[in-house]
Structure 1
Amino acid sequence: MIELRGLTKHYGQTVAVQDLSFTVRPGQVTGFLGPNGAGKSTTMRMILGLDKPTSGVALINGKAYRELDHPLNEVGALLDAKWVHPNRSARAHLQWLAASNGIAKSRVEEVLRLVGLSEVAGKSAGGFSLGMAQRLGLAGALLGDPKVLLFDEPVNGLDPEGILWIRRFMQRLAAEGRTVLVSSHLLSEMAQTAEHLVVIGRGQLMADTTTKEFIERSSEMAVRVRSPQLDQLRSLLTSNGMTVKEDGQGKEGPALIVANVSSDDVGKLAGANDITLFELSPQRASLEEAFMRMTGGAVQYHGEGVDQVMGGAL
C-alpha cells in the first residue's frame, strides 16, 4: 500500500505539490492523472525517495522508501525507460541490478520471459526501440517480485498489440494482490485499465474515486433517442422544458440527444403520448471528456489554436 499524507514540494517560489493526501490500495490498478505540470512525476519521485518533500510524508507499507531493508524486493518502478547503459545487453543490465540487490541470477531469465525479451536479451539496450526499452524497464521493476509497483507512462512507444499486452499485464499484477500505481496521458487506455483514479491539478488533489464514478460525476447525463415520429418527439420534449440537439444522420437514421434527463423520463413521456421509440440509450462522456471538464482550469500551459498561430492562414 502507498500512503501520502500532506505531501508538499516547493522549488524556491514554485509549488510543485501542495498538501497531497491519498492512498493507493492493493488489488486494483490505480490511474494517476493530471495535466502536464500537475506534479505527477514529482509525486512519484518523492514516493521513491528520489526527491525530498518540503513537508509531509510518502509511505510504502508504512515506511519511507529510505527505511526499506530491501527496496527492490518491496517496490518496483519504471520512471525512465531509457535509464540503461546503452552498451549493456538487456540480460547484463538485469544481472547487474540483481547482483546489487542480492537477487538470484535465475530471476533474470524469469522476468525476461515475462516481458517477452528472451530472444533479444543478448543485444545492446542502446539499440532498443522505445517500446522494447519499456519492456526492459518493466523487467527491472519486477526483478525483486515486489508487492508495490509504480509505472510512469508505461505504454509510451508501444504499438496497439503492446498496449493491450501491458494493460492485461498490469491488471494481472493487481489481481495477484499487488499495489499498482500508473500514470498515463492515454486516457482512453486508462479508462480500460484502471479501476480507480487519483487526479491532481497544479499539485493538488482533484479527485480520488473509481473510474466509473469519476466519469459519471464529471459529465452530464444525457439520453440518445430515435423514433419514426422524430419531429413530434422533438416538439414534445422541448415543450416539456428539455434541452434537445440533433445527433446527425447515422446508419441507423437521425436521432436526438436529450440533456440532463434519464432514459426513464424520456420513455415515460413518449409512452404517454403514443410515440414509438427505436432507441432509448443513456449517454456518458468518455474519460477524456470528463478529465478535460474537471481539469480545464488546472492546465498550466495553454496553447493558441493553430489558426491563431498561423495568423488565420488556415
Structure 2
Amino acid sequence: MIEATSLTKRYGKTLAVSNLSFTVESGQVTGFLGPNGAGKSTTMRMILGLDNPSSGRVTIGGKSYHELKDPLRTVGALLDAKWVHPNRSARAHLAWMARSNRLPSSRVDEVLETVGLTSVAGKRAGGFSLGMSQRLGIAAALLGDPEVLLFDEPVNGLDPEGILWIRKFMHRLADEGRTVFVSSHLLSEMALTASQLVVIGKGRLISQSSTKDFVARAAENTVKVRSPQLPQLRGALEQASARIAPGEDGSLIVSGMDSEKIGELAAGNGIVLHELAPQTGSLEQAFMQITGDSVEYHTGLEIEAEQVLETAVK
C-alpha cells in the first residue's frame, strides 16, 4: 500500500506538487494520470526517496522508502528504462543490484526469463532497443519479488505483443495481492489495464476513483451536436450554462445538458440540427474533459486549432 499525505514539492519558485493526498491499495492496478507537467514523475521520485518533499509525507506499507531494509525486497520500480551502464550486460546489471540487496544470484536468471531476455543476457545493455531496455527495467523491478511495484511509462517502445504481455503481467501481479502503480500517457491501454485511477493536474489531485466511475462521471450528459448554425447554437448553449468543447467535423461536444434539452433549446431558437447524439464515454474523452483546465503546455498546432475554432464560431 502506498499512502501520500499532503505531499508538496517546490523547486525554487516552482510548485511541482501541491498538498497531494492519495492512496494506492494492494490487489489492483492503479493508473497514475495527468497532463505533461502535472507532477507525476516528481511524485514517483518522492515515493522512492529520490526527491525529498518540501512538506507532507509518503509511505510504503507505513514506512518511508529510507526506512526500508533491503528496499528491493519491498519495492520495485521502473522510472527510466535507459538507467543502466551501457557497457554492462543485462545479466551483470541485474547481478550487482541483487548483491546490493542480498538477493540470491539465481534470481537474476529467473527475472531475465520472465521478461524474455534470456537469449541476450550477455549482451551490452547500451546496444538494446528501447523495447528491450524496458524489459530489462521491468526485470530489475521484479528482482526482489516485491509487494509494491511502480512503473513509469512501461509500454514505451514495446510492440503490440509486448504491450499485451505487460498488461496481462500487471493483472497477474495485482491478482497475487501486490500493489501496482503505473503512469502512462497511453490512455487506451490504461483503460484496459487499470481498475483504479489517481488523476492529477498542476501538482494537485483532480480525481481518485475507479476507472469505470471516472469515465462515467465525465461521460454523463455528454452529447455530440452538429448544426449549420453553429455560432447561434453555441451562444444559446452558453446562455443556458452548458459546457462546450470542440468535436470532430465541426461538431460541438456538450456536457451538463442532455439531448432532449439541447433539442428543445435549438427548436426554441429556430436552430437547425444535423446531429444530436449522446456519447458513449471513453477514458481518453473523460481525461481530456476533466483535465482540460490543468494542461500546462499546448503545442502550436493545438493553439492554432483553438484560434481557428474561436474564429469559426464567432
Same fold (TM over 0.5): yes
Please name the residue that 1:9 is paired with: 9
Deviations 1:286-313 (A, max 9, x none): 111110001111011122327949xx9x
Please name the residue that 2:200 is paired with: 200
Q: Which runs of 5+ in 2 are unaligned?
A: 225-255, 260-276, 309-314
Please name the residue that 2:312 is paired with: none
Please name the residue that 1:289 is paired with: 285
Secondary structure class of the residue paired with 1:52: coil
Please name the residue that 2:141 is paired with: 141
Please name the residue that 1:65 is paired with: 65
On the 8 A contact 2:7/2:19 being kept in 1, the answer is: yes
The CA distance in 1 between the partners of 2:69 and 2:121, in whole Å, is 29
On the 8 A contact 1:112/1:118 being kept in 2, the answer is: yes
Question: Is the aligned partner of 1:168 residue 2:164?
Answer: no
The CA distance in 2 between the partners of 1:22 and 1:65, in whole Å, is 17
Shift of 1:285: 1.8
Secondary structure class of the residue paired with 1:305: helix
1:67-146 correspondence to structure 2 within 5 Å: 67-146=67-146
Secondary structure class of the residue paired with 2:154: coil
More helix by share: 2
Shift of 1:223: 8.7
Shift of 1:220: 3.1
Please name the residue that 1:180 is paired with: 180
On the 8 A contact 2:3/2:24 being kept in 1, the answer is: yes
Question: Is the aligned partner of 1:23 residue 2:23?
Answer: yes
| Equivalent position amino acid for 1:29 in 2 | V
On the 8 A contact 2:3/2:58 being kept in 1, the answer is: yes
Shift of 1:100: 1.2
Secondary structure class of the residue paired with 1:50: coil
On the 8 A contact 2:219/2:279 being kept in 1, the answer is: no
> What's the TM-score, normalizing by structure 2?
0.79
On the 8 A contact 2:111/2:142 being kept in 1, the answer is: yes
The CA distance in 1 between the partners of 2:302 and 2:7, in whole Å, is 38
> What's the TM-score, normalizing by structure 1?
0.79
Please name the residue that 1:41 is paired with: 41
Please name the residue that 2:300 is paired with: 304
On the 8 A contact 2:155/2:166 being kept in 1, the answer is: yes
The CA distance in 2 between the partners of 1:165 and 1:99, in whole Å, is 28
The CA distance in 2 between the partners of 1:7 and 1:284, in whole Å, is 35
Count of aligned positions: 264
CA-based RMSD: 2.6
The CA distance in 2 between the partners of 1:209 and 1:105, in whole Å, is 40
| Equivalent position amino acid for 2:8 in 1 | T
Secondary structure class of the residue paired with 2:300: coil
The CA distance in 1 between the partners of 2:168 and 2:91, in whole Å, is 24
| Equivalent position amino acid for 1:176 in 2 | E
Identity across the alignment (%)? 69
